[in-house]
Amino acid sequence: MKTLRDLLRQKNFMFKLGIVICLAWIVVAILAPVLAPHDPNLGDVTRKFLAPSAEHWFGTDELGRDVFSRVLYGSRVSITCGLITVLISFAVGVFFGGLAGYVGGVVDDIMMRFSEMIQSFPPLILAMVIAAALGPNISNSVLAMAIIWWPNYARLTRSIVISIKQNDYVTASRVLGATHTRILGKELLPNSVGSMVVMCTLDLGNAILMFSGLSFLGLGIQPPTAEWGAMVSAGVENSNYWWVSTFPGLAIFSVAIGANFIGDGLRDYLDPKMRRSNS
């Protein structure tokens, strides 16, 4: 088995950078109350839109709140929501996709048509309508995202399962009289788990992006809670105060890129063929 030490001993610089970025953000999320120099929700309107300075590293926003503190606190919401969304959609998607790909036939058709139906909605509009119908708050927007997100996993799982199914060794074990569950447990799952983990990591970044997008439209989070997407949207109307939207935007970008670096690195590492070519 590959150990964690093995993984970290890789020479992949981006992977390590990704680990560092993500760990840093997790530390920030946990320690936000200790690290933040100001109360993220309390502002003084007479001190609105102050440029970055020694006192306010990232300046102040439209209500005179410290942008730096808000960016730190924002990590809590974004990271948690990203994780939960990916977990839910992963679980649902893998289950349906795997089943569809493996059983095939009518089951496959029904599953895939249903997932296509969900997928063929304009994602943001669907998320908007769902979040709006359920009432805008964090858990509902996470749910809305999971609803429109799982087909991605389902389709990917299905395609992996199908392509593995076509492989000779599965055909061979079929011929040798292996049962369905046996094939599923012994051959398919171990072969697909790697790529699924990779996909999950990569999609963590996407989930954070999408959540901030919903918040940007005013559907993710209730003010005054600090959230990056909502902070960017506050900066849209005031783009001459570049710091209001630039820093939270960079924060989203950095988390997403961190997750992507890790995902890429993991893929290179987990994929045996890739490893062979890397060595």
Partner 1 sequence: MLRYILRRLGLMVVLLFGVSVLVFMISHFVPSSPEAANLSQSALNDPEIVAAYRAKWGLDKPVWEQYLIYMKNILVNHDLGTSIRTGRPVLEELQQYFPATLELSVFAMLIAIVFGVAFGIISAIFQNKPIDQILRAISVSGVSLPSFWFSLLIMNLFCKVFAIFPSGNRYDPRLYDPTGGTGLYVLDAISWGNFSLLGDVLAHLFLPALVLGFFTMGLITRQTRSNLLEVMSSDYIRTARSKGMSQRRVVIHHALGNALVPVITVSGMGFCNLLGGMVFVEKIFSWPGIGQYAYLAAVNLDFPAICGVSLLIAVVYVVVNLVIDILYGVIDPRIRYQ
Partner 2 sequence: MKRTLSLLLTAAMLLALLAGCGGGTKGNVQGNVQGNAGDGETAKTIVIGGQSDLITLDPGHMYEPYANMIAYAAYDMLYRVKSGTLGTPEPSVATEYTVDETGTVYTFKLREDVVFASGNPLTAKDVVWSVNRVLNMKESNAYTNIKIVAKVEAPDDYTVVFTLTQPDASFLVKLTSNAYCILDSELVKQHGGSDAGGDTAQEWLDTTSAGSGPYIIDSWTPQEQLVLKKNPNYWGESSNIDTIIFREMTSVDAQITALQNGDVDIILGLNSETAKQVEGMENVTFTTGETAMMTFLVMSRDASLSPEMSNPLVQKAVRLALDYEGYLTLGGEGCLVPLNFVQDGFSGGMERDLSTQGRDLEQAKALMAEAGYPDGFTVTLTCANNNSEGLQWTTIAQKVAQDLAEIGITVNIETLETTMVYEKMRQGTMPFYVMFWSPDYYDINNQIDAFLPGTGDTGTAYGNRTKWERTADNEELWTLGDQVKVETDETKRAELSQQLQELFEEDNPFAFLLQHPKTYAYRTDRLEDVTYNDLCKIELCELVAK
For residue 93, which of 124, 114, 122 has the smallest C-alpha distance? 114
Candidates 53-61, 62-70, 123-131, 177-185 — which segment interacts with partner 1 by CB under 8 A?
A: 123-131
Minimum gap (Å) between residue 66 Cβ and partner 2: 14
Minimum gap (Å) between residue 50 Cβ and partner 2: 13
Backbone dihedral region for residue 137 (phi beyond 0: left; psi -120 to 50: alpha; all else: beta):
beta
Structure tokens at 142: 């996470």
Structure tokens at 196: 């699924």
CB atoms within 10 A of CB 70: 31
Task: Report the distance separating Cα 198 and Cα 90, nearest Å.
Answer: 12
Eight-state DSSP code of residue 51:
P
Candidates 158, 245, 266, 269: give the one binding partner 1 (CB under 8 A).
Answer: 245
Structure tokens at 210: 């999408």
Determine, following the binding rule CB under 8 A, whether residue 45 of this chain makes contact with partner 2.
yes
Helix (H, G, I), strand (E, B) or coil at 60: strand
Candidates 24, 107, 121, 186: give the one binding partner 1 (CB under 8 A).
Answer: 121
Determine, following the binding rule CB under 8 A, whether residue 246 of this chain makes contact with partner 2.
no
Q: Which does 57 bind (CB under 5 to 8 A by kind): partner 2, partner 1, none?
A: none
CB atoms within 10 A of CB 153: 25
Determine, following the binding rule CB under 8 A, whether residue 67 of this chain makes contact with partner 1.
no
For residue 255, which of 45, 81, 63, 64 has the smallest C-alpha distance? 81
Task: Report the distance separating Cα 108 and Cα 101, nearest Å.
Answer: 6
Q: Which does 2 bind (CB under 5 to 8 A by kind): partner 1, partner 2, none?
A: none
Binding site for partner 2 (CB under 8 A): 41-43, 45-46, 48-49, 62-63, 132, 135-136, 217-218, 222-224, 234, 236-241
Binding site for partner 1 (CB under 8 A): 13-14, 109, 113-114, 116-117, 119-126, 128-130, 132-133, 152, 159, 162, 166, 202, 205-206, 209, 212-213, 216-217, 229, 232-233, 235-236, 239, 242, 245-246, 249, 252-253, 256-257, 259-261, 264, 267, 271, 273-274, 276-278
